[in-house]
Structure 1
């Protein structure tokens, strides 16, 4: 990430003005537009003919050089990065900070700390650490809440989830977590075909937590029945779920055709072929596709052994993480800017639509679209500046320039 060219100005009192950029807004692209960041908010935004507010005269001015200004990315499925995992028992919270700092450098301004299948005690400890971090200053990417991936998933489609802790849904666990950490749990992945899963999905929804299908052996009919009870999300679509067959459409068929369900996809060129992502985006429409990294601790780290995911040994080869035993894909080393570029360059999605998949759609799924996910006045100053080659020049998270 190369730093932006600046002109002198009082950034503390006047904020930051990004000018001469293609500003991606919900209403369209403002060519040669400007955006003014002040006091952690987007103070104002306009096209080339719109007058600047007089108070912006003292702002630190950055020339966008005709590049792109996008809303910061929101990653609802990320396990770690820079050698750390959200499941690490790090009471100092330094591991969480390292993850947030790493992903902020790659365009993520908001994320869900994502668990792995583990014991009740380990999951509670992870939620507790995330909750304490959320109560602090959060100078890098904002931890917006917790995504519990498991432990109520299918053994058949466990992927890189630890089978020792997989089991049926436990309503008392959920009720305890929701009461003890109100508002922290945002999303949970489970297999809807498991005994008790439909009641659990309904309870998730009653707590304001997004119920998600993943690591599942569910039939088409079981996914539709789950959506009737509140299922609204599919985790890493195509991966670790029953595939589409013309006489047995499976989980994938239900996800593709049920408009109630938003669909994650790991757009790294390894987990899903770009043609399958085209099928997904054409079936769901741009408003229901959500880009995620599913990044593990090895993201940003060199190839080799010595990595783990949920206590299972992982080998990183040419940037691809696989379980040492069996060779299953073990999360990814993807970043959100990498996913965004893949969608534009390989899948053929236009920049505003790819931006929505990486920012607006996930923010809306979490009910946070009034705060972040798009470039609009009075929203949080989560902003990316890219050059014409879609390389990051600068990232602001809550108005703070990430360096």
Structure 2
């Protein structure tokens, strides 16, 4: 039995800040949280981290839309790639994620889904970010809004194909990004709703009326708002307008200062409320790597000074922002409190995936997914399911 203690910590709980607190972790769960006066006795065999001088101890962040990092992509379809991404994500304070695919030939997508199922079933390493499932982005999208998705592999929404892929994945697909205006009789949408998968509109050229019809039939999520969708026009509010106006739609945002103007965040939060906004990275394999040329879905991407674009067309092609950078950007642009930062990077995601009993907050009985921030706001320690996944050099020496 492993015991780990965080001591003298400023712990960000769901509704309060516990100063001079402790967290007792036993194996992969949070055993107890409280003030130092009530800290249990500690044995010589227990692992200790003294958090005096640290800024906050907060829940691990959850990235529900990430394609890769550290030179790897989930479409590489290998255990080495999956493990490499999971290790890299922990360094940025991400303790769990949805492995996100990109439009590719159907055979390759099927192989990737099966490989991800094998990885999830066979992985015993807790000292990495946890794969919570799969976000299937494409191939059921609109060519007019393909963005960086390879056009040659795009197909119409198909419920039967989804059923086959969901079986291959071991029922791991949690979100499907698709163009609802192309979904004949909303057959795919009906299948997603029936199986509890989140239907997300993305890479869609739907009009406002078509979008509102899709929402009425059950679409409840918008993939990377503003990007890969018809924007607002005064005679057609488009997908963006419908997503902002409808209370039941949750929206993903990429807070990198590149995918949309930061001031639009104020509009998003004013319209949606923080409870319906989910920060994502849309990270690709160049995240954490030097500028240069990289592959995304079989296409060449040029990465320079924080911007990723298709080398052929100049279209944005994912990002290299980390979840912690996204959190810091949101805090600065929106003047968010630490509790509001956690809501948009952890709590909302846990709720959206139906995992609030395990993830999203620091509470006894939940998974020990915890991040310690230094005074500069940078990640100094990441604990994934009770195991040390990342420790900043010299942070606790």
What TM-score does the superposition give when structure 1 sets the normalisation length? 0.92
Kept in 1, the 8 Å contact 2:54–2:372? The answer is no
Match of 1:249 in 2: 237
Q: How does 1:47-66 map to 2 (within 5 A)?
A: 47=35, 51-54=38-41, 59-64=46-51, 65-66=53-54
Query: Equivalents in 2 of 1:56, 1:384: separation in Å?
Result: 23
Match of 2:7 in 1: 19
2:339 is aligned with 1:352: yes
Query: Equivalents in 2 of 1:348, 1:272: separation in Å?
Result: 18
The alpha-carbon deviation at position 66 of structure 1 amounts to 4.7
Alpha carbons of structure 1 residues 277 and 138: separation in structure 2 relative to 1, 3 Å: farther
Select which of 80, 83, 87 maps to 1:94: 80
Query: Equivalents in 1 of 2:284, 2:185: separation in Å?
Result: 27
The alpha-carbon deviation at position 48 of structure 1 amounts to 5.2
Alpha carbons of structure 1 residues 35 and 254: separation in structure 2 relative to 1, 3 Å: same
Select which of 254, 257, 260 maps to 1:272: 260
How many residue pairs match? The answer is 387
2:323 is aligned with 1:336: yes
Alpha carbons of structure 1 residues 398 and 26: separation in structure 2 relative to 1, 3 Å: same
Alpha carbons of structure 1 residues 346 and 155: separation in structure 2 relative to 1, 3 Å: same
Kept in 2, the 8 Å contact 1:264–1:291? The answer is yes
Q: How does 1:164-203 map to 2 (within 5 A)?
A: 164-196=152-184, 198-203=186-191
Match of 1:240 in 2: 228
Q: How does 1:2-401 map to 2 (within 5 A)?
A: 13=2, 15-47=3-35, 51-54=38-41, 59-64=46-51, 65-90=53-78, 93-135=79-121, 136-139=123-126, 140-196=128-184, 198-305=186-293, 307-401=294-388
The alpha-carbon deviation at position 19 of structure 1 amounts to 2.3
What TM-score does the superposition give when structure 2 sets the normalisation length? 0.93
Match of 1:6 in 2: none
Kept in 2, the 8 Å contact 1:32–1:66? The answer is no
Kept in 2, the 8 Å contact 1:169–1:197? The answer is no
**5+ residue gaps in structure 2?**
391-397
Kept in 2, the 8 Å contact 1:340–1:358? The answer is yes
User: 3-state SS of the aligned residue for 1:231?
Assistant: coil
The alpha-carbon deviation at position 58 of structure 1 amounts to 6.4
The alpha-carbon deviation at position 33 of structure 1 amounts to 2.3
Match of 2:393 in 1: none
Query: Equivalents in 1 of 2:211, 2:125: separation in Å?
Result: 37
The alpha-carbon deviation at position 163 of structure 1 amounts to 0.4
Query: Equivalents in 2 of 1:219, 1:53: separation in Å?
Result: 60
Kept in 2, the 8 Å contact 1:178–1:207? The answer is no
The alpha-carbon deviation at position 344 of structure 1 amounts to 0.8
The alpha-carbon deviation at position 178 of structure 1 amounts to 2.5
2:389 is aligned with 1:402: yes
Q: CA RMSD in A?
A: 1.7
Match of 1:7 in 2: none
User: 3-state SS of the aligned residue for 1:156?
Assistant: helix
User: 3-state SS of the aligned residue for 2:182?
Assistant: coil
The alpha-carbon deviation at position 228 of structure 1 amounts to 2.1
